[in-house]
Structure 1
């Protein structure tokens, strides 16, 4: 609390005209601590460079019927163990989970998934391979157990027209339109995640079509920032 008080004192003394953040969640968290409460705020989602997407645009479905993707750090806060436990509850030989990334929990996670050949660890991959994995996935899963602000993995997934299944925590649900661009589940509940996967594994094509109209470009993000800056000059 002392930190936030010092932070707030600094902010007040800095003559802030407006606060911008990629999620309403992070704005609300500051307000709860008494920070930025008297300053106008605006949520501006992030953006990514979409100029090189065309070569990966088309889906390339392989032999498995439903392909799940996790991309990110292999740490406790990211909840990969929850996703692996959900896989264990789904007796579907045509379901696969592909885990991309590195981190201190890899060995533990590999042991957790040891007897499930449907779970595959790829380690750190190149940008080209990451793009390919997004494209051929049916869903990207974001199973975080801790508060994420506005995960880039969701923007990257949408850019490849791949819907997202995400934990209902932090800023994640702000980026997921239920039954339009993906689905949310109660965090840290492997059984609920398993139910979501089982119930909606046939919906990914429909949701992918919806994502053709979702703009996650860096250009749009910059345009919105410029609009804010210009409005403050007036």
Structure 2
């Protein structure tokens, strides 16, 4: 089959921009090619050219893989970079003709499989659908970009977003002004460096990774400088809220009319979409596969601990991921409970204040080990000392990659009640606590520490971990039959 996959960045870009979706797509691309399919990988919103201002499409062929890159998209990705401009997605027509260019170059595409809409426009997708009348159009929902320009339904960086009030709440959701033009300038430089120094040598790749850190820090400081909330009287409030309302309504329409199948990565994701107005007629669930599945089949499942239980937090030091909840919880934990627990934190360091708080906790806990992030090379070594992973997400995290990685490595998880992580172990309530409820979190830890054998109860549930091969077989049913 000829299969086109879409994400706003190429699946193997240096530094893994795109997070867990890119991790999944790397595995998917390799599996599709191994099975003999031709893969076309389209990206947009991430590459910008110094010398040509209008949008254009370039192709790069590598055997069964062809990269298709849209340069100079008007909708800068990720969508948080264009947060205040949802109208660009809903009404801009600048890249419409690129759908025709794609058809001229690749007229035979059996399946279009989108993994988000960041970097594209509604009119481009509509034009693509009209040109490729015989192709299947599938959308996999890994986040909530269809509903939210922040992609995670996380209001004011404080709480789960339950009602956007027809776009009214979106106006004051983020504290920074429109940064899209600034982000475009940064991406001009990034594109220039990426295409001229990446993959030249390990030195150049390391140099580019260093520059990415500098750009990330620069973005943070720039946004901090432009910190603000909209003044009630400074602009047309109703007109601007309508832009966010139209963004959501057009995506609901698009998924119903343009796509043959909407695939959710968890049942909870499906529930959230339907709750916010998406049609249930063409929505299904297909849990993603993982290359860690082979680990799961041969690993020793952790079912007990010795003197103390070691809990581990892996991922990002972000409030939506639950890190701030976790840090507050261990700081406030009673001495009696703290004496039964060791702690491992493997997350990219956020700031000195956070590190100072963690260092202070070493006086409270007999063992507290810190890692400045983790990767697939060192995760197994880190997990050797962890008895149970903590997934304290405060948003409807669709299906956290870290939860899959932990369970695949034989480590039970204790999760909040939001998102799809609890579906991995069939929602056994013994391993679920109410989000943002520190007392319920403590009660579940008390249960686990009360008897070393209680940990083994995790594995009595149906464990939903799947190989990429198994996942792809299910995906092929969607490709052929939808």
Could you say which TM-score interval applies, normalised by the shorter chain?
Answer: 0.7 to 0.9
How far the C-alpha of 1:102 sits from its partner, in A, is 0.8
CA contact (8 A) 1:47 1:221 kept: yes
Structure 1 position 124 matched with structure 2 position 373: yes
Bigger RCO (CA 8 Å, 6+ sep): 1
Report the equivalent of 2:286.
Answer: 44
Matches within 5 A, 1:1-234: 1-14=245-258, 16-35=259-278, 37=279, 39-50=281-292, 53=295, 57-58=299-300, 65-88=308-331, 89-91=333-335, 92-104=338-350, 106-117=351-362, 118=365, 119-179=368-428, 183-201=431-449, 202-203=452-453, 205-207=455-457, 209-210=459-460, 214-232=464-482
1:173-229 residue CA offsets vs partner (Å, 9 max, x unmatched): 33333559x611011122221221121132464146547965332222212212332
Structure 1: which 5+ runs fail to align?
none
Larger of the two Rg values belongs to structure: 2
CA contact (8 A) 2:388 2:411 kept: yes
- Is the alpha carbon distance of 1:85 and 1:195 closer, same or farther for their aligned partners in structure 2, counting shifts above 3 Å? farther
Extract structure 1 runs of 4+ deviating beyond 6 A. 59-63
How far the C-alpha of 1:122 sits from its partner, in A, is 0.8
Q: Higher mean Cα deviation, 147-156 or 56-65? A: 56-65
1:66-85 residue CA offsets vs partner (Å, 9 max, x unmatched): 11111101112122232233
Paired with 1:29 and 1:98, the residues of 2 have a C-alpha distance of 32
Paired with 1:207 and 1:98, the residues of 2 have a C-alpha distance of 22
What TM-score does the superposition give when structure 1 sets the normalisation length?
Answer: 0.82
What TM-score does the superposition give when structure 2 sets the normalisation length?
Answer: 0.42
How far the C-alpha of 1:133 sits from its partner, in A, is 2.2
How far the C-alpha of 1:121 sits from its partner, in A, is 1.8
Paired with 1:34 and 1:84, the residues of 2 have a C-alpha distance of 35
Q: Higher mean Cα deviation, 212-221 or 141-150? A: 212-221
CA contact (8 A) 2:255 2:262 kept: no
CA contact (8 A) 1:24 1:171 kept: yes
Paired with 2:461 and 2:280, the residues of 1 have a C-alpha distance of 36
Paired with 2:396 and 2:246, the residues of 1 have a C-alpha distance of 21
- Is the alpha carbon distance of 1:146 and 1:12 closer, same or farther for their aligned partners in structure 2, counting shifts above 3 Å? closer
How far the C-alpha of 1:7 sits from its partner, in A, is 1.4
Q: How many residues align?
A: 228
Structure 2: which 5+ runs fail to align?
1-244
1:104-128 residue CA offsets vs partner (Å, 9 max, x unmatched): 3x43433333432133321123423
Report the equivalent of 2:61.
Answer: none
3-state secondary structure, aligned to 1:156: helix
CA contact (8 A) 2:398 2:420 kept: yes
Paired with 2:320 and 2:370, the residues of 1 have a C-alpha distance of 18
1:150-177 residue CA offsets vs partner (Å, 9 max, x unmatched): 1111111111111110111122333333
